[in-house]
Amino acid sequence: MALAELEPLNVDEEYRLLIGGEWVAAESGTYEIVNPNTTQVIGHAPEASISQVNDAAAAAKAALPGWRDTPMAERCAMIGRAADLLEQKLGGLVGLVQGETGATINVSESIQIPSCADRFRHYETPVNVDDPIEPYPVAENPLGPGGLSCAHVIRQPVGVVACITSYNFPLVNMSGKIAPALAMGNTLVIKPAPQDPLAVIKMGEIIEEAGFPPGVINIITGSGAVAGAALVESRDVNMISFTGSSAVGAKIMQSGGSTMKRLLMELGGKGACVLTDDCNVDGAVGAIASVWGFHSGQICTAPTRVIVHRSRYDELVDKLTAVAGLLKLGDPLDRETIVGPVITELHRDRVEHFIASGVADGATLLCGGRRPDLPGYFVEPTLLADCTSDMRVVQREIFGPVVVVLAHDDDDHAVELANDSDYGLFSYVFAGTTARAFEVGKRIESGNVGLNSMAPHIHAPFGGFKMSGVGRDRGVYGLHAYSEIQALSWMSS
């Protein structure tokens, strides 16, 4: 067992909120942050009062004119400086982010930290976000002399953006919002998830050193839904950029409606993974096993809903069962560990409940499903076969290390099963040729489809169909997401 050596965490360290450029203590005290592996308290997060949430929104509003009028090149240069600082300093946060998320040391070091600086790096170069529009001649008419009708269409920042994120990748999810929103000229109130906000606060300290003016970035934390709900209600907030469950997303859409909030909603997923009769099963097995090994399935884009051609069914489930048996579950600090804990006791119970419901509904439990004899919140890699589309385990997002398998008869049937879902975030097709995967993939109702591959293109638009979200980010789409379109028009004689 090769345990990673990390600096011990100081459980008494004081974490503060950032409001209008000042780091302040929370008015409602603090709450405990628990390590999902040890179940020990590793720190205390600030519990913001409602008036502090409102102060943060007001500070962001006050900072907006100055930041909006700062040339994009200067804004992007500051984002580049933030990327430099994150690359230099974020390594010091591996222990903290690992401790509060429970992610394995390999996932913490290779994803939780470096992807965060990358998200800033992507927006360090200014780009033209204005949309070209052709002038057109207008003949003289009773209402005017005619001439050349011209318009210039520009993108303005939306204003104050509240960024509310999920617990699974606290730094990455938040930096994916901060960087494009700031590049576009918005000011921010960021609110990380209650379970693991500490590294985000520390990331805020690092980003601040890049020189962002006071009030451009504000940080609020809290143990429940109160702080997020207050941001959604606030008249000072123009847009909610949300990453989280579809259920909370729907609530936000409802309560944000009265103040006409602009929305970017990055919600739940139940990724279909179609295997055609001529596919390379081994390639698909590696991708599907990532549901178990990659942060214990706590990933919205995971290929959890496997739809395999009947002729390859036995081969697939045999290989998946064999792989599941090889995955080491246990201490996330052990470099050989592949499967760490899920985030909380409550979530572990929820995942177990889903597995039991699958068996009760007629699925065959091929492996996993038991609670390991460990103090943390572990779920074994679980494989449920003989599933049908009407089962809860097939329809609902489990967000744990659980794979369900269904059989299909041909490509049409596979597409029908893939689309029999409320979700449509990231799906996958494994076929004998990329051309066949392409033909099947474009029929799947899903914002993204991986073809014989799990790897997304970093600049491709990311977002969901159906209950998986509204809007797109990444690349230039991220800048569009955080902008309002304005048309300035005139008649040239």
Stretch that binds ligand NAD, among 38-46, 221-229, 320-328, 381-389 (CB under 6 A): 221-229
Q: Is 449 in the site for ligand NAD (CB under 6 A)?
A: no
- For the chain, helix (H) and strand (E) counts, in that order, are 16, 22
**CB 257, min distance to ligand NAD, A:** 13
Q: Toward ligand NAD, which CB reaches closer, 251 or 335?
A: 251
Residue 194 engages ligand NAD in binding (rule: CB under 6 A): yes
Of the pair 159, 297, the CB lying nearest ligand NAD is at 297
One of 82, 105, 189, 248 touching ligand NAD (CB under 6 A): 248
- Kindly compute the dihedral angle of the four CA atoms of residues 165, 166, 170, 174, in this order, to the nearest 10 degrees: -20
Q: Select the residue whose beta carbon is closest to ligand NAD and give its number.
A: 228
Residues 410-429, interacting with ligand NAD (CB under 6 A)? 425
**Is the separation of the CB atoms in 360 and 352 below 8 Å?**
no
Residue 37 and residue 44 in contact, taking contact as beta carbons nearer than 8 Å? no
Binding to ligand NAD by residue 344, rule CB under 6 A? no
Q: Which of 16, 81, 251, 335 is in the footprint of ligand NAD by CB under 6 A?
A: 251
Q: Minimal distance in Å, beta carbon 168 to ligand NAD?
A: 5
**465 binds ligand NAD, rule: CB under 6 A:** no
Residues 154-183 that bind ligand NAD (CB under 6 A): 164-168, 173
Sequence-separated contacts (24+) of 352-358 with Cβ below 8 Å: 352/379, 354/392, 354/393, 354/396, 354/398, 354/400, 354/402, 355/379, 355/382, 355/384, 355/393, 355/402, 357/391, 357/392, 357/393, 358/384, 358/387, 358/391, 358/392, 358/393, 358/402, 358/404
**Smallest distance, ligand NAD to C-beta of residue 323, A:** 23
Closest listed residue to residue 319, CA positions, set 291, 294, 284:
284
Which residues have a Cβ under 8 Å from the Cβ of 5 and sit 6 or more positions away?
none
Length of the chain (residues): 493
Is the CB of residue 47 less than 8 Å from the CB of residue 221? yes
Q: Which stretch binds ligand NAD (CB under 6 A): 43-51, 80-88, 228-236, 435-443?
A: 228-236
Distance CA(97)–CA(94), nearest Å, equals: 5
DSSP for residue 167: S
Q: Looking at 101-109, 110-118, 245-253, 316-324, which segment touches ligand NAD (CB under 6 A)?
A: 245-253
Do residues 399 and 243 touch, judged by C-beta distance below 8 A? no
Q: How far is the CB of 294 from ligand NAD (least distance, A)?
A: 12
Check if 266 is active-site. Answer: yes
93 vs 264, beta carbon nearer ligand NAD: 264
Q: Does 36 bind ligand NAD (CB under 6 A)?
A: no
Q: Is 229 in the site for ligand NAD (CB under 6 A)?
A: yes
Q: Which of 244/369 has CB closer to ligand NAD?
A: 244
CB-nearer residue toward ligand NAD: 167 or 294:
167
CB 195 within 8 A of CB 33: yes
Distance CA 72, CA 66 (A): 12
Residues 280-309 that bind ligand NAD (CB under 6 A): 300
Distance CA 151, CA 128 (A): 16
Among 55, 100, 397, 411, binds ligand NAD (CB under 6 A): 397
Q: How far apart are CA 433 and CA 426, in angstroms?
A: 20
Q: Does 228 bind ligand NAD (CB under 6 A)?
A: yes
Segment interacting with ligand NAD, rule: CB under 6 A, options 43-51, 67-75, 213-221, 241-249? 241-249
Q: Considering only 43-51, 238-246, 277-285, 475-483, which stretch makes contact with ligand NAD by CB under 6 A? A: 238-246
Return d(Cα 30, Cα 27) in angstroms, integer.
Answer: 9
The catalytic residue among 266, 352, 380, 445 is 266
Contacts of 475 (CB under 8 A, 6+ apart): 122, 458, 459, 460, 461
Binds ligand NAD (CB under 6 A): choice among 67, 399, 428, 465: 399
SS3 354: helix
> By CB under 6 A, is residue 225 in contact with ligand NAD?
yes
d(CA 326, CA 333): 18
**Residue tagged active-site, from 76, 300, 367, 387:** 300
Residue 469, interface with ligand NAD (CB under 6 A)?
yes
* Contact indicator for 276, 440 with CB cutoff of 8 Å: yes
The answer to the question of residue 241 lying near ligand NAD (CB under 6 A) is no
Residues near ligand NAD (CB under 6 A): 164-168, 173, 191, 193-194, 225, 228-229, 232, 243-245, 248, 251-252, 266-269, 300, 397, 399, 425, 464, 469
| Residues taking part in catalysis | 266, 300
